[in-house]
Amino acid sequence: MKAVVITTPGDPEVLQLQEVQEPVIKDHEVLIRVAATALNRVDTLKRKGMYELPSGDTPYLGLECSGIIEAIGKNVTDWKIGDQVCALLYHGGYAEKVAVPAAQLLPIPPGVSLKDAASFPEVACTVWSTVFMTSKLSAGETFLVHGGSSGIGTFAIQMAKYQGARVFATAGSEEKLAACKDLGADIVINYKTEDFVARVKEETAGKGVDVILDHVGASYLQRNIDSLNVDGRLFLISIMGGANAEVNLNSLLTRRLTVQGARLRFRSPEMKAEIIREVEKNVWPAIGAGKVKPVVYQYFPLAEAAAAHRVMESSKHIGKILLCP
């Protein structure tokens, strides 16, 4: 089969489509013929060698995919050859075929094309496990997502609206803010021209929001804490703005705040399987009802993975970027 290989850590050009060995499935796995895989920001860091590179049997990028089951392991009972699925992967999606534990498969959501289904596993599992399973955002509460136009942000806005929250989103351009509004955000804030803490306070009668989902980290930490309501919850999923911060802890005590973080890929297979089940139960009906839609910015052939990485690194995209073998 063909897969996109990182020939050496570096610029997008190091991504080359090459002939490689097909993956061999284990008893609890299925083999998927990939229809589409989606880019994730971390793929660009792995390509540069700034993050643990994929290893093992399928050392290719790609944390999610959609496709058709081509073979099943002998312990797999819930799925059959020919089923159309999407999946959360450990890696290996930038390929014509990938092996994945059956517990990490989801059916194609109703009303979504086979290709576009590849845009959901990573964002749905990340957002559902953090904002909803852990931070317990509920109807009537207020929610702020930074990077509202990102793959994560475009999903989080829609899902939080569906769950009955009042949604705030930040982004770095007017075009991105307009997209956040179209997806249902109630309040959009251009963080380049506006102080998001002041705007959040103004829009919440001085209280702050109940839950924040943040990918910026250190440079936003004090401002995120200052933007939270009493009993507020901040969930960190990345540290694009740095890892080391000094903050005033007083308000954590007086306003009973929770600061938490997680990376989906470091969760155990058992936890991933539980998240997958919860996503199918809670997110798939929202997609089926047309309330949460795939947001795909651009499709690229697998052979043009380098061009796709360049688009992601330009940060001009809104939503997900897909690669199609």
Ligand X SMILES: NC(=O)c1ccc[n+]([C@@H]2O[C@H](COP(=O)([O-])OP(=O)(O)OC[C@H]3O[C@@H](n4cnc5c(N)ncnc54)[C@H](OP(=O)(O)O)[C@@H]3O)[C@@H](O)[C@H]2O)c1
CB nearer to ligand X: pick between 263 and 277: 263
CB nearer to ligand X: pick between 25 and 36: 36
HSE-up of residue 182 (Cα within 13 Å, Cβ side) = 12
Minimum CB–partner distance for residue 21 and ligand X (Å): 28
Minimum CB–partner distance for residue 219 and ligand X (Å): 8
Could you tell me if 298 and 317 are in contact, meaning their C-beta atoms sit under 8 angstroms apart? yes
How many whole angstroms separate alpha carbon 214 and alpha carbon 131?
10
Minimum CB–partner distance for residue 320 and ligand X (Å): 7
280: left (phi over 0), alpha (psi -120 to 50) or beta: alpha
Which tokens is 312 given?
A: 């992601």
Minimum CB–partner distance for residue 307 and ligand X (Å): 15
Residue nearest to ligand X (CB): 150
**41: helix, strand or coil:** helix
CB nearer to ligand X: pick between 25 and 239: 239
CB nearer to ligand X: pick between 25 and 216: 216
In the numeric block, the tokens 């093992």 are attached to 56
How many whole angstroms separate alpha carbon 63 and alpha carbon 69?
17
Minimum CB–partner distance for residue 262 and ligand X (Å): 6
Minimum CB–partner distance for residue 215 and ligand X (Å): 4
Minimum CB–partner distance for residue 189 and ligand X (Å): 10
Q: 142-145 and 209-214: which strand pairing?
A: parallel
Could you tell me if 152 and 215 are in contact, meaning their C-beta atoms sit under 8 angstroms apart? yes
CB nearer to ligand X: pick between 251 and 282: 282
User: Interface with ligand X by CB under 6 A: which residues?
Assistant: 40-42, 122, 126, 147, 149-152, 171-172, 176, 215-216, 237-238, 240-241, 262-264, 312, 315
CB nearer to ligand X: pick between 23 and 294: 294
CB nearer to ligand X: pick between 23 and 121: 121
Interior/surface letters 48-76, b for 16+ CB within 10 angstroms, e for the rest: beeeebbeeebebbbbbbbbebebbbeeb
Minimum CB–partner distance for residue 135 and ligand X (Å): 13
CB nearer to ligand X: pick between 95 and 145: 145
How many whole angstroms separate alpha carbon 261 and alpha carbon 220?
14
Could you tell me if 296 and 320 are in contact, meaning their C-beta atoms sit under 8 angstroms apart? yes
Provide the H-helix boundaries in the chain. Answer: 41-47, 121-127, 151-162, 174-182, 196-203, 218-226, 250-254, 269-282, 284-288, 305-314
